[in-house]
Amino acid sequence: MKKYLTILILFAGLLGFNTGIAKAQDTSNFTIEILSPAKVAEYPGKELKIKVKITNTTDQEIKNVFTYITMANLSKNWTVNLEDYSADQPVTIGTMKPHEEKIVNLPIQLVYTADYYLYTTVVSKENPVITSSVAIPVKIIGNTKIVPLQVQIVSTVMPLLLLVLLFITMKIKR
Amino acid sequence: MFLALVKKETKEHIFSRKGIGFLFVVSLLLSILSFSFISVKELSLLDQPTVVMTTLKLLLGINILIAMVIGATMIAGEKEKGTLESLLLTPLTKRNIILAKLAAILIFWLIVTLVSLPYLFVLAYQANLFPTVLLYLYGIGTILIISFSSIALIFSTVLVSTKNAMILAIMAFLITAIPMFLSTTMKKSGLAKVISENSPVSASMTAMKDIFINKMAAPQVLIELIPVFIFFLLALFFALLIAKKVDFLRGE
């Protein structure tokens, strides 16, 4: 009986310990919201500013705060390398006072044609709980008018012409 | 006499196996790149201005390199072959010799652009970009080619060995092109930041982006191009100044 009780107490203790960690991970110090745009449907090359509102929801000052963009490619089910989109740099916010709100503009340039979800994340070095916003849909519309046949013809004919010219020159030299 | 020298240089460096070989390599690279734009899925998703910009970057990069190689061999090559003596005995001034060699490189550049025009035309098709492409190519492109060729000619004049002149010329180009190989994070600090802010290559790339993507107005683009113009004037000035050093080898 004593043995069972000990096991029960140990389990209860472990459960309590685990719940504690889970609780700590659930607690976010921020709220983050994309104010504008609500959705994007633009051609590649367009530069946008994503306006984000970040709020410190705690009663304490939070240091070393920064925010950044993430994009998920819904057409290919992968995240995007934002260096191509000139959006790989986080924006440093610094210190946020208790219940302080900050509005930040995150720049991004649209590049590859596809459907995406764009969301923003706020991070503080002091807390491992990461907070992300609700995503906005981004559609980068394809607008290429390149005719593949034209490209194929030029890409084949030009080197061939020069190769023939090279052979003629070599023959003349001999 | 000036024209005769330009003709001789053109024949030697452009309408030769070496020159046509260079043209063939440029054309082959452009073909591979253009073909990738229609066959590689990721690249086929790019918009036309980015496609044109990528092609222009490749074209400029390769041609600056080729122009520097040709420029580096021009004077040092004459010294090595022992033909500089006969060249100096002509009524041409040393400055005119340098200018004739620069003119030959410029003719090579014009021929390369003629080879590349069909590619640029099909890649910019119906996107209303072709006039801008021509303006960039023959405006900024030509300025960059003259500037880097002048640098190569300076090394070629000062150094005796073609090999050394070529290595130094390529190194000079690579230093100015460093920002192109670095990530945005690295470009924001240290020496990379200094080079990135002052390099004519960086300035021309930024201007290219602002012309084709951001559709910025001409005055703003011209301000961005200031490092390119300064580099052009300095390179040309020093190339003409150093022309005095075009001389026989010791003991010749």
pLDDT digits (tens, 9 = 90+) for A82-103: 887 888 888 999 999 999 999 9
Which residues between 141 and 180 in chain B have a beta carbon less than 8 angstroms from any beta carbon of chain A? Answer: none
A94 plus A53 within the same structural domain: yes
Beta pairing class for A40-42 and A136-140: parallel
Nearest to A162 among B15, B27, B121 (CB): B27
Nearest residue in chain A measured CA to CA from B188: A89
CB contact under 8 A, B45 and A114: yes
User: CB-based contact (8 Å) between A82 and chain B?
Assistant: no
Report whether pLDDT(A8) > 70: no
Q: Most B CBs within 10 Å: which of A91, A155, A172, as the mutation test of the B interface?
A: A155
B126/A158 touch (CB, cutoff 8 Å), yes or no? no
Total domains in the fold of chain A: 2
**Closest approach of chain A CAs to the CA of B22, in angstroms?**
10
pLDDT at A3: 66
d(CA B231, CA B236): 8
| Structural domain of A152 | 147-174
Both A37 and A63 in a single domain? yes
Interface check for A83 against chain B (CB to CB < 8 A): the answer is yes
Name the residue among A96, A84, A101, A128 with its Cα closest to residue A33. Answer: A101
pLDDT for A22 = 40
Dist CA B137 CA B132 (whole Å): 8
* Domain-located, residue A7: no
What does the alpha-carbon distance between residue B103 and residue B67 come to, in Å, rounded to a whole number? 11
User: Tens of pLDDT along chain B (252 residues)?
Assistant: 778 888 888 888 778 888 889 899 999 999 999 999 888 877 777 788 888 999 999 999 999 998 998 899 888 888 888 888 888 888 888 888 899 999 999 999 999 999 999 999 999 988 888 999 999 999 999 999 999 999 999 999 888 888 888 999 888 888 888 777 776 667 777 777 787 778 888 889 888 888 887 778 888 889 989 999 999 999 999 998 988 887 766 544
Element (H, E) at A16: helix A2-26
Longest pairwise C-alpha distance within chain A = 106
Examine the domain organization and report whether A129 and A174 are in the same domain. no
Tell whether B24 lies on the interface with A, counting CB pairs under 8 A.
yes
Looking at residue A162, its pLDDT comes to 92
pTM higher than the cut 0.80: no
Q: Which amino acid is at B170?
A: I
Residue B86 lies in a domain: yes
What pLDDT is recorded for position A1? Answer: 59
A4: in domain: no
CB-CB under 8 Å, A144 with B34? no
Q: How confident is the model at residue A12 (pLDDT cuts 50, 70, 90)?
A: low
B250 part of a folded domain = no
| Same domain? A136 vs A153 | no
Please check whether residues A57 and A73 belong to one and the same domain.
yes
pLDDT at A123: 93
Residues A94 and A154 in one domain: no
Q: Is residue A172 located within the same domain as residue A87?
A: no
Whether the complex's predicted ipTM surpasses the cut of 0.85: no
Give B23's contacts in chain A (Cβ within 8 Å).
Answer: 162, 165
Domain count across chain B: 1
- Provide the pLDDT for residue B252: 44
CB contact under 8 A, B51 and A163: no
Going by C-alpha positions, the residue among A50, A42, A41, A52 that lies closest to residue A107 is: A50
Beta partners for residue A140, in sequence order: A42, A114
HEC profile of chain B: CHHHHHHHHHHHHCCCHHHHHHHHHHHHHHHHHHHHHHHCHHHHCCCHHHHHHHHHHHHHHHHHHHHHHHHHHHHHHHHHHCCHHHHHCCCCCHHHHHHHHHHHHHHHHHHHHHHHHHHHHHHCCCCCCHHHHHHHHHHHHHHHHHHHHHHHHHHHHHCCCHHHHHHHHHHHHHHHCHHHHCCCCHHHCHHHHHHHHHCHHHHHHHHHHHHHCCCCCHHHHHHHCHHHHHHHHHHHHHHHHHHHHCCCCCCC
Amino acid at site A110: L
- CA distance to partner chain A, nearest, from residue B252 (Å): 31
The first and second tokens of residue A48, run together, are 């946008």
Do A111 and A173 have their domain in common?
Answer: no
| Interchain proximity B21–A166, CB inside 8 Å | yes
Question: In A, which residues are within 8 Å of B44 by CB distance?
Answer: 144
CB of B60 closer than 8 Å to CB of B144: yes
* Closest partner CB to A150 (pick from B21, B24, B125): B125
Task: Using CB atoms, pick whichever of A112, A145, A162 lies closest to residue B126.
Answer: A145
Quick one: A95 and A161 in the same domain? no
Q: Please tell me the distance in Å from B227's CA to the nearest CA on chain A.
A: 23
A141: DSSP letter: -
Answer whether residue B7 is part of any domain. yes
- What is the Cβ-side half-sphere exposure of residue A50, based on CA atoms within 13 angstroms? 33
In a domain? residue A160:
yes
In this structure, are residues B184 and A86 in contact, taking their beta carbons and an 8 Å threshold?
yes
- Whether residues A53 and A133 fall in one domain: yes
CATH number for the domain spanning A77: value is 2.60.40.10
Q: Do A161 and A101 have their domain in common?
A: no
Kindly state whether residues A154 and A129 are assigned to the same domain. no
Query: Is A21 domain-assigned?
Result: no
Q: Domain range holding B153?
A: 2-245
pLDDT at A114: 84
- Return the H-helix or E-strand segment holding A161: helix A148-173
Closest to B212 in 3D by CA, of B57, B86, B94: B57
With respect to residue B167, please indicate whether it lies within any of the assigned structural domains.
yes
Segment holding A6, helix H or strand E: helix A2-26
Q: Is residue A108 part of a domain?
A: yes
Q: Specify if A9 maps to a domain.
A: no
Q: How far apart are CA A57 and CA A129, in angstroms?
A: 13
B20 interfacial to chain A (CB closer than 8 Å): yes
Q: Quick: pLDDT tens for A121-142.
A: 999 988 888 999 999 999 988 7
